[in-house]
Amino acid sequence: MKNYARLGFLLATVVGLIVAGWTIGAIGAQQVLAAVATVGWIGMLAFVAWSIGVLALLGAAWLAVAPGESLHRLPLFIWARTTREAATDVLPFSQLGGLVVGARTLTERRVAMPVVYASMIADMTTELASQLLFTLAGVAVLLLILADQPVRASIMPLALLGTGGMAAIVAVLAFAQRPMLRLATGLATRFLPGSAGALATVRALLDAIYREPRRVIAAFVFNLLAWIASAAGAWIALKFMGISAPLWAIIALEALIFTLRSVAFFIPGAVGVQEAAYALIGPLFGLPPTTAVAVSLLKRARDLIIGVPALIIWQRSEYLSGRQRA
């Protein structure tokens, strides 16, 4: 990466950390600290440790569809997924910037760029496909809960809209990725001849990945387990808050929250969307609005606890890499 590009990432990181601090201030730093106090430091550490386990599942899913990468590279893919999530949650990049940071993490560790991009496309497809299944389960539970409640008329359109948006995103990734790559290769051949070969290699690798269904199924299963485990993390946090709620109800709630966050992918960190969704949907599953919002604030605190150190370490790695190549 050129020095000016590294400088751009550095400036974006600094700006992102400032924005993250401002966001916490806007939400209410005292409210965030109060939410952390409700679970205690032991509970917060357990929540963070559980979330790191979720990142391990996500890293395993990415590795599963990375051709030629052996199992001993799993820690690297977990780290790449960590930086990817950190950039998405902390920096003002939204999802796209997180993907770039995750890809950079792998390429700096000598993973071939075509392998990085082909595996990322396959991983995103299986991740969203597993999320769609997870979401449908959440909507099914919501239908049962709201069967005889008047609030159904106002809540169900929102849930179905989110599910439809998720299905549309999955369809685009599943059916448009090859045509889009062919189009990109054609354009590159005409306007950027030097990049046409790399895009053709990505296409070939992507086809090779899909010819190995065991890889795709493994990625799908790991991603589905990650969705379930992430939802269970909220249930664990509630336990530390002294609140008993059925695990199935919290998993269904989290499925709907994740869906609304995904549909709002263009909003960095889903700021405001996440809190509003918890306040609106949480009571349907037996959580008072204040408790539901407290869970959201705990997630914000967790994102900073994991994301800020991850981004600092990543920037240090970029700096050292730049010095070695200078």
**174-208 pLDDT, tens digit each:** 666 666 555 444 544 444 445 556 777 888 888 88
CB count within 10 Å of CB 196 equals: 17
What tokens does 128 get? Answer: 């969203």
Which pLDDT score, from 0 to 100, does residue 142 have?
A: 76
Give the confidence band of 291 by pLDDT, cuts at 50, 70, 90.
confident
Q: For residues 183 and 232, what is the distance between their CA atoms, to the nearest angstrom?
A: 41
- What global pTM score does this model have? 0.81
- CA-CA distance, 189 to 36, in Å (whole number)? 54
Going by C-alpha positions, the residue among 25, 111, 20 that lies closest to residue 69 is: 111
CA distances from 198 to 68, 181, 192 (A): 17, 11, 11
pLDDT for 190: 45
Helix, strand and coil content of the chain, in percent to the nearest 5, comes to: 85, 0, 15
Distance of CA 255 to the CA centre of its chain: 13
What torsion, rounded to 10 degrees, do the Cα atoms 168, 211, 204, 216 define?
50
Q: What is the pLDDT of residue 191?
A: 40
Which of 13-17, 27-31, 59-63 is most confident? 59-63
Mean pLDDT rounded to a whole number for the chain? 78
Q: How far apart are CA 160 and CA 37, in angstroms?
A: 35
Across the range 16-42, mean pLDDT stands at 66
Query: For residue 55, is pLDDT > 90?
Result: yes
Tell me the mean pLDDT in the region 129-152: 74
Q: H or E stretch including 231?
A: helix 213-240
Bigger pLDDT: 86 vs 56:
56
> Which residues are within 8 A (CB) of 230 and not within 5 positions of it... i.e. 6 or more apart?
51, 54, 254, 258
